[in-house]
Every structure is written in structure tokens, then in C-alpha cells.
Amino acid sequence: MSVKIKDFSDVEYVLPGSAACAGCPSTIALRIVGKALGENAIMLMTPSCAVASIGLLPKSCYSLPTLNICFASAGASAGGLSLALDALYEKGRLKGEKPTVFNWVGDGGTYDIGLQGISAAAERNDDFIHFCYNNEAYSNTGVQRSGATPLHAITTTTPLGKEVHRKNVPLLMLEHRIPYVATASLAYPMDLYRKVAKAKSIKGFKYIEIHAPCYPGWKFASSDTVKMSRLAVKSGAWLLWEGEYGRLTLNNPTSLLAKGKMELLPVEEYIKSQGRYAHLMKSPDKKSYLAELEEEVKRGLKFMAGRAELI
Ligand SMILES: Cc1ncc(C[n+]2csc(CCOP(=O)(O)OP(=O)(O)O)c2C)c(N)n1
Ligand code: SF4
Ligand SMILES: [Mg+2]
């Protein structure tokens, strides 16, 4: 399926009046996701910037039915809601196309606080889409580290830089052998739209993770959200891929980078204007830190290229 920007609907599901920061990656992503899903959808959110941005009742900046749920229940709530809809269709109390049930959850909610329930829903193959917008921290509560915070990044709970590696939850989801899993980026909106439309057309558990550079947390210029997203992909710090029932395909430009048909941007180009890495850029050991991060990127790319060769 090839998607053009003119295929995007003019209808907005994030309305003016959102309390999100200007240039917020979660909000940009949700606008695109809303356009790909359309109005026949029900959204569930765990505590996050996306919830903090809604506005005060009775006002809401989201024009889809939206449920605020607690962290641990993301998997069970969306799965239960979807099953309840199935029951209503079975009894003939609902007619027409089943609404797309989807979670809109941050990395804190996905990688850490709700992981068990999300894994259980994936294993049961519950019929909904779990979106993780990954801004690599607990942003709305003051930028604490999460399981998605990368090595050496400063957060308020890793003031000297994170000393351990991030998890790879999309890869964990791939190994659940669910019907569909994908990673996406704001810098490649057509790829994101296509993946959402594909997930919508598939029954069962779908997982889409969107990289979400967050300028207040990462400390870069607010106008550079999309530029930072692009640098992450071109440097190999964020990989674009999709998988069906455990069968993995790399998407461009990640596929070109993996085949050596496109040159990787140095990681320094990606991290040099992020304040969360300023301590590395000023360090007398800058060269060895950069070499370590380059090594990490190349290892990740090689691993995923190898995994794509497996059935
Ligand atoms: C069980 C539980 N633990 C902690 C909190 C406090 N809390 C609210 S939002 C949040 C962080 C959410 O991080 P993430 O899911 O990444 O969303 P973001 O803020 O980055 O948008 C935390 C820890 C809570 N509401 N419930
Ligand atoms: S802190 Fe980051 S994710 Fe949260 S509203 Fe602001 S830009 Fe968006
Ligand atoms: Mg987060």
C-alpha cells in the first residue's frame, strides 16, 4: 500500500486547546494516527503527557471517545472493552463495522508500569492496537528515567547519565509472534500512516511504537522535533521495521542503512544538540563515549538485519 500525504484526511482528532507543549511529538503522532484510523475508534490512555494535555472537564482536546485508565490495566482494559464490543455484536445489539480499540500509552506505561498486562494481552491475542509513544522518559512527572531511556542520557533520576541499556520492547513484542508489530517515526509520516492503516485492517493484537523526541525532556530547540526524529533514524539510533507473526521486515531508510546502500550519520550528529548528552560532549572522554554509542548502533542494526533473515 503506497500512501501519499494527500490521502490524509482533513479531519483532526486532536483539537485546538490541547495543553501539550508546542511541537509535542505525542500530539503530532496522535494527529496522524487519528487520520489513519478515522472516527470509528475508541481510545484508552494511561497517566501521561497525553492525559495531562486533555484539558479540564468538561472540555477535551480529543474528539474520539477517550477512557482514562490506570497504568497496570492497559492490556486488560483494552482487551476487555474489545471483547465487550464483540459480545454486543454477537447479541445483535451493535451493527456495522466494529470500532478500532486502541491504547495511547507512553514508554513509562508500556516498558515499565504496564508491561505485564500488555504482554498478557499480546499472548491472548486480544483484538486492539497498543500504541507506545516513546519519549524515552516519564515526561509529565518531571522527566524521570524509564526502561526506554538510552544509555548515558541525563534525566532527573539519572543526573550523571543512565548507566544501563534501554530495553527493546518492540523486539519483545515481535517475539510474542503477534499478528502485527511496527516501529515508526514522526519524520516518516507516510510510513506511520501506512502502518496504522495496516494494523487497523488486521484482527488480533497489534503493537506500534512511535519514537517521540521530547524537547523539554531531551533539551533541544522546540522547533526541532521532526528534525530530531529524522536524525535518530538516519544515525541508526531508531530503527524502522515491521513484523507479522514474528516475520520481520526492515523499512527504508533503515533497510538501506543495513545493506550499506546508505551511509549512517555519525551518532554525534543526533546527540550533539540534545542537552541530556551535554556531559558527554564536554567530557575529556568524549571520543570513547561516542565510539561506545556508535558500536551500540551498529550492533543493533546488525542484529535486526540478521533477525530479518530468519523466518
Ligand atoms: C501506578 C502509578 N505509578 C505512578 C504514577 C505517577 N505517574 C503518572 S504519569 C507517570 C509517568 C508516565 O510516563 P510515560 O508513560 O512515559 O508518559 P509521559 O509522561 O512520558 O507522556 C507516572 C510515573 C501513577 N499515576 N500511577
Ligand atoms: S513534555 Fe514532551 S511529551 Fe510531554 S507534552 Fe511536552 S513535548 Fe509533549
Ligand atoms: Mg514517556
Say whether pTM exceeds 0.75. yes
pLDDT exceeds 80 at position 191: yes
- Structural domains in the chain, CATH included, are 5-309 (3.40.50.970)
pLDDT exceeds 90 at position 200: yes
Which of 48, 139, 155 should be mutated for ligand 2, with most atoms under 8 A from CB? 139
What's residue 58's pLDDT? 85
156 lines ligand 1 (CB under 6 A): no
| Span from the CA of 14 to the centroid of ligand 3 (angstroms) | 19
Side-chain half-sphere exposure of 264, counting CA atoms within 13 A: 26
Q: With pLDDT > 70 as the criterion, what percentage of the chain qualifies?
A: 100
The tens digit of pLDDT for each residue in 86-104 reads 999 999 999 999 999 999 9
pLDDT exceeds 80 at position 273: yes
What's residue 3's pLDDT? 86
Closest ligand 1 atom to Cα of 135: 20
| pLDDT band with cut points at 50, 70 and 90 for residue 63 | very high
**CA 61 vs CA 45, 264, 265: distances in Å:** 13, 39, 37
What's residue 55's pLDDT? 86
More confident residue, 286 or 58: 286
Contact 43, 104 (CB under 8 A): yes
Q: With pLDDT > 90 as the criterion, what percentage of the chain qualifies?
A: 95
Go through 114-128 and write b for each residue having 16 or more CB atoms within 10 A of its CB, e for each that does not. Answer: bbebbeebbeeebbb
Which of 18, 21, 45, 105 should be mutated for ligand 2, with most atoms under 8 A from CB? 21
Minimal-distance CA residue to ligand 2 atom 1: 139
Average pLDDT in the chain: 97
What's residue 59's pLDDT? 87
| Span from the CA of 6 to the centroid of ligand 3 (angstroms) | 30
